Structure 1
Amino acid sequence: MTQTQIEAFISESAEFTPESCIGFTITSGYAHFKKVGNNSAKPTYRIPPRTTVAGLLAGILGYDRDTYYDLFQPDNSAVSVVPLNNPHTVSVSTTTVNTKADEAIKYIPPDVHYTKGVKALTPESYVELDRQRDPYEMLVDPKYRIYVSLAAEDVETELFERLSESRYHYSPSLGLSECLAEINDVERHSLTEADDEPIEVDSTVCELEGSTVVPKPGVTVCRERSPLYMEATDGGGRRTTTFGNVTYALERDRALTVKGQLAYDTGRHVVSFS
């Protein structure tokens, strides 16, 4: 889809109300969703931020970095995450190096053919830059059910086909590229608006103005403030435009009770979109 087509979808979709969605289950041995504002120590969100889900889907579709943000704005997309387990965390220390193209470490001298790379490794060829040892907080065996609806029907159709056929442009991962993920149980779902008040919601809830998560006995309510939407900048980078309070129940067999917020029944879960 061209930039002109993307802008046309945005102008035509003042408000986006999903009528159907794609649902799929994603899991991995480990996951890490780096919290904003932390550098040396790297804690993780428990729930993949909406921006992370957008990046995951864009990678499956083959979009380059900083080219897909307009497809996942609130007026033309809807995303919901249902945590299917409560993963514990471990701390993993990782030695990192700078991989910026014009500063990357030269492992192989320029006069040595790449097929001889193993023999070419010498201290002089790989210690040009200092290493940094960082502790990562990793989620162990995370599992989520993700629901997504897009106003761009041709993009949503391609996404469904790629998910169903495991035909990914970039391999899916949960946060870090090393946390390769498995996607299965891909389905299309019709959506029925839930009209109960209050509503029992299986998914996370991005609390909106006027909405309230009602505490209940036996349900541990957790909240994370995470990025929701991004935009590309003129300098070739990106920036977060909106953060939100994402609330979820710690116990996987318990639902959140919510007042003043739309929710939809997918046939498998009752979800709140953001």
Structure 2
Amino acid sequence: MEKVMIFNVSSRFAIFRKPYSTTSSLSYDFPPRTVVIGMIAAVIGLDNGGGKAKYFEELKDLKIALEILNPVMKKRTVFNNLNTKSHASSRHILTITEMLINPAYRIYIWYNNEKVELLKKFLAKKESYYTPYLGVSNCIAKLDLVGDSKIEEIDPKEGMVVNSVIPRSDFFFVPMPSQKYVFDTLPYEISPTREFVSNKEYVYNPNGGGVKVKFQEKKPFKVSNGKILSFM
């Protein structure tokens, strides 16, 4: 029987900075796949290779699905950062930064990697090797193990509502009345030296209500609680 491990991750604040935003920092609405893998590596204590991303090679085959639990809320605030440039005219830089307020997500991970069992042991004991956080180190993450669930591939129906964020390449989008949808492109893969490798475009409902789609070649998956998923 195929199964997934499920856990919730939340915090008071989160910042998943979009790399193309400089003077004013903008945030993605949910953690990119690269962030989720980094958080898992922190919990189980994988070596980052001296500030790089050595752990990514060990975890890059993970099948991860992400569900938005709390409606996305954002607030802009000003950070007073230290200017470390030589010959700077000022010792401080004021940066307008977009923050997520009370973010909460549900993560589904397929048991296709031996590290998943190790992650489950850490979460069951409410322990972590390193401190996990959501985007920046002052946004400490709270991780709660939900448990295991069987998962099965299903034949897509016309206009099926999927509860997770969905890669846009997997489906035809079907708008629903009075629903909000967002299309965004997020990092998908990085190299062991922390260099960008690839992006992937997703569609999601920022209010957490799911997205109605028609699948193309790939099929969706269903877990025991009835939720329909598509993997990142």
Q: Given the alignment, which residue of 42, 50, 73 partners 1:88? A: 73
Residue 270 of structure 1 corresponds to: 228
1:72 deviation in Å? 3.2
CA distance in 2, matches of 1:25, 1:144: 6
Cα contact 1:163–1:186 (8 A) shared by 2 = no
Q: 1:98 to 1:156 in 2, by over 3 A?
A: farther
Residue 195 of structure 1 corresponds to: 155
TM-score scaled by length of structure 2:
0.87
The alignment status of 1:206 with 2:193, answered yes or no, reads: no
Letter in 2 for 1:272: S
Q: What does the per-residue CA deviation read over 1:19-42, in whole Å, with 9 as the maximum and x for residues that have no partner?
A: 322111111111110012222211
Structure 1 vs Structure 2 CA RMSD = 2.3
The alignment status of 1:253 with 2:209, answered yes or no, reads: yes
The alignment status of 1:175 with 2:135, answered yes or no, reads: yes
CA distance in 2, matches of 1:202, 1:132: 40
Q: What does the per-residue CA deviation read over 1:186-225, in whole Å, with 9 as the maximum and x for residues that have no partner?
A: 31121111213233210000122x6322222222211111
Q: What does the per-residue CA deviation read over 1:149-207, in whole Å, with 9 as the maximum and x for residues that have no partner?
A: 25322x11101111111110112211111111211143112111121323321000012
1:98 deviation in Å? 6.3
How many residue pairs are counted as aligned between the two chains? 223
Letter in 2 for 1:264: F
1:89 deviation in Å? 0.9
Letter in 1 for 2:150: S
The alignment status of 1:67 with 2:54, answered yes or no, reads: yes
Residue 32 of structure 2 corresponds to: 49
Q: Given the alignment, which residue of 13, 33, 52 partners 1:30? A: 13
CA distance in 1, matches of 2:122, 2:59: 18
Cα contact 1:201–1:258 (8 A) shared by 2 = no
Cα contact 1:249–1:256 (8 A) shared by 2 = no
Letter in 2 for 1:93: V
Q: What does the per-residue CA deviation read over 1:50-83, in whole Å, with 9 as the maximum and x for residues that have no partner?
A: 111111111111123311111333xx22111100
Indicate the SS of the match to 2:24.
coil
Q: Percent identity?
A: 24
Question: How is 1:201-240 mapped onto 2 (pairs within 5 angstroms)?
Answer: 201-208=162-169, 211-232=171-192, 237-240=193-196
More helix by share: 1
Higher alpha-carbon Rg:
1
Question: How is 1:141-160 mapped onto 2 (pairs within 5 angstroms)?
Answer: 141-153=102-114, 155-160=115-120
Indicate the SS of the match to 1:23.
strand
More strand by share: 2
CA distance in 2, matches of 1:48, 1:137: 14
Cα contact 2:82–2:91 (8 A) shared by 1 = yes
Letter in 2 for 1:250: P
Q: 1:71 to 1:258 in 2, by over 3 A?
A: farther
TM-score scaled by length of structure 1:
0.75
Runs of 4+ in 1 over 4 A off after TM superposition: none
Question: How is 1:97-116 mapped onto 2 (pairs within 5 angstroms)?
Answer: 97=82
1:99 deviation in Å? 8.0
Unaligned runs of 5+ in 2: none
Cα contact 2:156–2:220 (8 A) shared by 1 = no
Residue 161 of structure 1 corresponds to: 121
CA distance in 1, matches of 2:59, 2:203: 20
CA distance in 2, matches of 1:130, 1:19: 56
